[in-house]
Amino acid sequence: MEQSLILIKPDAVTHHLIGAIIGRYEEEGLTVSALQMLRPTQELAVAHYAEHQGKPFYEALLSFITSGDVVALILSGEDAIARVRLLNGATDPQKADAGTLRALYGEDPMHNVVHASNSSANAQREIALWFPKSETSHVPSEG
């Protein structure tokens, strides 16, 4: 079993899309292993988006992700990372395949309703940031 971190971003939360988004993942056979709603701190956002530091969109990205509530969840399933990324679609909603979450609900490359881990290593790093071990001892590990 593989795990992926998903963030339902402030734009999706504001537009009442939490249930629709989680429902799509569950319809595809993925399992929600952990879930929480929170407003990310600046420190959490900086740690999460560390690989984008220095890029032109970095400050706007931090500002957006900390602008409202986010639903963070861990999805588990066979090939979860690849399956989630297919369901999400391309980062730019205008380039996302029809029927994907970003094509359906996204506005632009920043306001694209969801974030998902892009690799197993990134999933482990992101899960540790958003779900510290003390809070997720019940989450099944990969393997």
Taking only the tens place, the pLDDT of each residue in 30-61 is 999 999 999 999 999 999 999 999 999 999 99
**Each residue of 95-119: pLDDT tens digit?**
999 999 999 999 999 999 999 999 9
- Domain residues for the domain of 90 are 2-132
Active-site entry in 15, 48, 52, 115: 115
pLDDT value at residue 52: 94
Residue pair 58/49 in contact by the 8 Å Cβ criterion: yes
Query: What is the reported pLDDT for 141?
Result: 46
Q: Is residue 137 part of a domain?
A: no
Angle subtended at Cα 58 by Cα 73 and Cα 90, rounded to the nearest 5 degrees: 55
Flag whether pLDDT at 139 surpasses 90.
no
User: Which CATH number belongs to the domain containing residue 59 in this structure?
Assistant: 3.30.70.141
Q: Which residue would you say has higher pLDDT here, 137 or 83?
A: 83
**Does the pLDDT of residue 143 top 80, yes or no?**
no
* Annotation says 52 is catalytic: no
| pLDDT given for residue 133 in this prediction | 75
Q: What average pLDDT does the chain have? A: 93
pLDDT at residue 136, rounded to an integer: 47
Band of the pLDDT at 138, cuts 50, 70, 90? very low
> CB neighbours of 89 closer than 8 A, spacing ≥ 6?
96, 97, 100, 101, 102, 103, 106
- Asked if residue 16 belongs to a domain, the reply is yes
Q: Is 89 left (phi over 0), alpha (psi -120 to 50) or beta?
A: left
Is 110 among the domain residues? yes
Q: Is residue 139 part of a domain?
A: no
Q: How far apart are CA 34 and CA 3, in angstroms?
A: 11
- Whether the pLDDT of residue 142 is over 50: the answer is no
In a domain? residue 141: no
Give which of 45, 142, 57 is closest to 91, Cα–Cα: 57
Specify the number of domains making up the chain: 1
Region class of 50: left (phi > 0), else alpha (psi between -120 and 50), else beta? alpha
Position 120 pLDDT exceeds 80: yes
Which residues is 6 bridged to in the sheet? 73, 116
Instruction: State in Å, rounded, how far the first CA of the chain is from the last one.
Output: 5
d(CA 31, CA 17): 18
